[in-house]
Amino acid sequence: MKRIMLLATGGTIASKPSENGALAPAISADEILEFVPELKDICHIEAMELYDLDSTDMGPEQWIGIASAIRDNYDEFDGFVITHGTDTMAYTASALSYMIQHSRKPVILTGSQKSIYKRDTDARRNLIQAFTYAASDSAFGVQIVFDSKVILGSRARKVRSKSFNAFSSIDYPETAVFRDERLIPFLRPSEEEDEPCFSLKLDERVFVLRLIPGIKPDIFSMLYPSYRAVVIEGFGVGGLPGGEKGELLSSVRRWLSSGRLAVFSTQVWHEGSDLSVYEVGRIARELPGVLEARDMTPESIVTKLMWVLGKTEDPNEARRLFETPIMHDIL
Ligand code: ASP
């Protein structure tokens, strides 16, 4: 029987209503396991209580905590299941995809839209599927298992705030699906996935600037003290308002020449950016040192930048690392 470690971090799956009626994490990892006794037939499970947080409060510090716990226990277990709030699960999954690379052993995130103590919860099924996938021979790397889908951590997004089918794989096939409880794998580990590589340093100084019609360029001056990278989420296939002589273009040029990073992306959910299509994109694309996120998810763009900035001070090396595909994050 495979040995899988459960790392509990909180989220709705572990929540109960508090005195004022609002949900907050209150159910321990062992209690979660007691709710689903059939897990014992799937694998041997050992639980560790890492956090009891609503995932709104999860961030780089906790991602490092999770990755460290996995690194410290990697040799003892055949895989890891992390229970996590759904709201920022895609950020944690993306971050772990960069922090734990080439892992043949699965690192699975799951959670639920309804608490495990509720009769109509989705927690039981998600847990059974998460452990079933983690204990299977086709499992590998960082994945989200949710509502009968197995999704690459680097491709997952929360697409519904209430329904059980809360996650989608964006512009990439699902790793596997469950049909009538049967696991059907579509993607399998590559030969690269043999020796895991952990990198536990992140630099949080990443800002996302979502363009709105009429945006004022002076926003850039406020970013200098606190940030090393900015993601400029544009419209459609991407671009910058104001034209060749515009103040926004000069602001981005100045930002880049200070050794900081600027990544152009899009607010559109599918198919990504392509700055080569329109004049408004071409002017941005020709800025020296500018990066383009193409079809990466917003969660992957932000967490990859934190990982890149944690690895190097050199902007050229940072750009090279950002553009290198990792776990199919960029096509
Ligand atoms: N607010 C919760 C969280 O992300 C939502 C959930 O788990 O579904 O922790």
Q: Is the pLDDT of residue 194 over 80?
A: no
What are 275-285's pLDDT values in tens digits?
999 999 999 99
pLDDT-derived band at 117, boundaries 50, 70, 90 = confident
Q: Is the pLDDT of residue 292 over 90?
A: yes
12 labelled catalytic:
yes
- pLDDT value at position 17? 84
Q: Is the pLDDT of residue 192 over 80?
A: no
DSSP result, 62-73: HHHHHHHHHHHH
pLDDT-derived band at 195, boundaries 50, 70, 90 = confident
Q: At 13, which amino acid appears?
A: I
Helix then strand then coil, in percent of the chain rounded to 5, is 30, 25, 45
Output the residue whose Cα is nearest ligand 1's atom 3. Answer: 85
What are 206-233's pLDDT values in tens digits?
999 999 999 998 899 999 999 999 999 9
Q: Is the pLDDT of residue 172 over 90?
A: yes
What are 236-277's pLDDT values in tens digits?
999 999 999 999 999 999 999 999 999 999 999 999 999 999
Compute the distance from residue 175 Cα to the ligand 1 centre, in Å.
24
pLDDT-derived band at 25, boundaries 50, 70, 90 = confident
Mean pLDDT for 157-163 is 96
Compute the distance from residue 123 Cα to the ligand 1 centre, in Å.
12
Neighbours of 241 (CB within 10 A): 17
* Token duo for residue 275: 């700055």
Atom of ligand 1 nearest to the CA of 87: 4
- Substitution site in 53, 87, 88 for ligand 1 pocket (most atoms within 8 Å of beta carbon): 87
- pLDDT value at position 23? 86
What are 2-14's pLDDT values in tens digits?
999 999 999 999 9
Instruction: List all residues whose CB is within 6 A of at least one atom of ligand 1.
Output: 11-12, 54-56, 85-87, 111, 113
3-class SS at 295?
coil
Q: Are strands 23-25 and 15-17 parallel, antiparallel or unpaired?
A: antiparallel
Mean pLDDT for 22-26 is 85
- Substitution site in 52, 55, 117, 118 for ligand 1 pocket (most atoms within 8 Å of beta carbon): 55
Q: What's the CA gap between 251 and 276, in Å, rounded?
A: 20
Compute the distance from residue 72 Cα to the ligand 1 centre, in Å.
27
Atom of ligand 1 nearest to the CA of 12: 7
Mean pLDDT of the chain: 95
